[in-house]
Structure 1
Amino acid sequence: MKNSQFRIYLAGDSTVENVLPEQGNKMGWGQVISEFFTDDVLFMNEAKGGRSSKSFIEEGRLNKILEVIKKGDYLFIQFGHNDQKVDEPHRGTDPYTTYQKYLTQYIVEAREKHAIPVLLTSVNRRTFTEDGKLFNGLGEYPEAMRQLALSFQVPLIDLWEKSKQLYEQLGVEGSKRLFAWYELEDPEIPTDNTHFGRYGSREVAKLVVSGIKELQMPFAKYSIDKS
């Protein structure tokens, strides 16, 4: 491990994870965010595709982080996409009950290690309405996280809102290029409006960086401008 001044652990799903080359050209934002900081900031990406706030814990992935996280480290927590899968008991949660309960576990256990939890609402899917506005495909999960952050006084990066603004700014057609299926330019590839390609992962990482700056986190000063 690098002797960096700041260490940030990432807990999340496929929109965050380090995607293996054999999985195609998909990339999570956690895979590229280190490009936007000096070596003073080290990101440990423990995110895993297909995981929810519940399954990440039940598979022991949170415990793996808690075994090594230290005082002053950060734990970034982004779940929601797979929590929506309520027909799958091992993953699905309810926004205002079990989802908040599992997120609370991340917060409390990180603080017990004297680490700093940070909540991130889930990045949007590319789901436009006919009038060119983004449809909320994530239901009540973003709002449930916002309320929990307020209740526990946890720093929040509203990636849902930031990605909404980004997609609407790019428009129905322009936003396609954020996603992995579009970069392949292959009509045989099924449309995937959830997982990012190289360009999209970097654009979403920039949104996370902007949130870090807005929160005036101590390591924000080590960010590198790659606009």
Structure 2
Amino acid sequence: MSLSRRQVAGAAFAALPLSTLAGTAQAQEQRARTLFIAGDSTAAQKYADAAPETGWGMALPFFLKHDTRVANHAVNGRSSKSFVDEGRLDVVLGAIRPGDLLLVQFAHNDEKKDDPTRYTEPWTTYQEHLRLYVDGARARGARPVLVTPVERRRFDAAGNAVPSHGEYPAAMRALAAAEGVALLDVQALSLALWQELGVEATKTYFNWTATEQDNTHFNPPGAVAVARLVARELLRTRVLAPRDVRRLAEEIPEEWITWPQAAA
């Protein structure tokens, strides 16, 4: 009786040494690594009705090799607190696997003192909520990575880029140091980038349109620029290795950014 191709392949696989099988499983796990993003509107996926507004999470895959997949769970208007209270962190932790990464960027909405559903105080409740992400990822064998909030476009009368996040970046830096968590200091890097570009040039990075002057959210060039900062920080902090990243010194065509239709 002749064997089918499937039977032959199965027999061959069964005959492989255990060390080879372990190596194959390890390679499959490596290929299946996912980078999760928990954050707010500056990182979130945008849809056709919001174009040209672009979250930096939409551009991050352009800088990562194909064996690292991006699962962008960032959502407009969320803080470290409301993301948890709405069950969104539970969804992420239900999907995350050993070897995955969890990037956490919040502060823009944590700052809203007039909204108790979102507000956190930098040195107490903000850090307490961030620990939920850190501990949850670690408990599942994944690696948490804290990301200081990207800066808004703000300049003083002398043309100096002005920080807008108060004590939140410092509180995140302190927590990262205390917990031994990798920190991507996007707040400091983006502030330096806006300073380098200046008052007028930064307008071409933010969502300035004929009807809107948005100094918080990005257009495609801005999202690409911030995603590049994130990728470089992932490399600098050795969260990713040089083999994991690409195009850090290359221009990314704007037409690579697309806005899908929102689900009905």
Q: Contact 1:212/1:220 (CA < 8 Å) preserved in 2?
A: no
Q: Are residues 220 and 103 of structure 1, via their aligned partners in 2, closer, same or farther at CA, if it must alter by over 3 Å?
A: farther
Residue 78 (structure 1) aligns with: 105
Q: Distance in 2 between matches of 1:145 and 1:73?
A: 21
Give how far 1:33 is off. 0.7
2:218 to 189, 192, 196: 196
Residue 100 (structure 1) aligns with: 127
Moved more, 212-221 or 65-74: 212-221
Cα distance per residue 1:55-75 (max 9 Å; x no partner): 000000000011110111100
Cα distance per residue 1:178-209 (max 9 Å; x no partner): 0112xx3x1xx232100000111001100001
How many pairs align?
Answer: 221
Aligned pairs for 1:55-70 (under 5 A) are 55-70=82-97
Residue 148 (structure 1) aligns with: 175
Structure 2: any 5+ residue segments left out of the alignment?
1-28, 252-264
Amino acid at match of 1:81: H
Residue 215 (structure 1) aligns with: 237
Moved over 4 A (4+): none
User: TM (normalized to structure 1)?
Assistant: 0.94
Q: Distance in 2 between matches of 1:14 and 1:180?
A: 12
2:66 to 31, 36, 39: 39
Give how far 1:219 is off. 4.5
Q: Distance in 1 between matches of 2:189 and 2:243?
A: 21
Structure 1: any 5+ residue segments left out of the alignment?
none
RMSD, aligned α-carbons: 1.4
Aligned pairs for 1:84-163 (under 5 A) are 84-163=111-190
Q: Percent identity?
A: 40
SS in 1 for 2:132: helix
Q: Contact 2:38/2:102 (CA < 8 Å) preserved in 1?
A: yes
Q: Distance in 2 between matches of 1:82 and 1:215?
A: 26
Residue 205 (structure 1) aligns with: 227
Moved more, 21-30 or 88-97: 21-30
Aligned pairs for 1:8-23 (under 5 A) are 8-23=35-50
SS in 2 for 1:217: coil
Give how far 1:112 is off. 0.6
Q: Contact 1:6/1:219 (CA < 8 Å) preserved in 2?
A: no
Residue 56 (structure 2) aligns with: 29
Q: Contact 2:98/2:140 (CA < 8 Å) preserved in 1?
A: yes
Amino acid at match of 2:38: A
Give how far 1:24 is off. 2.7
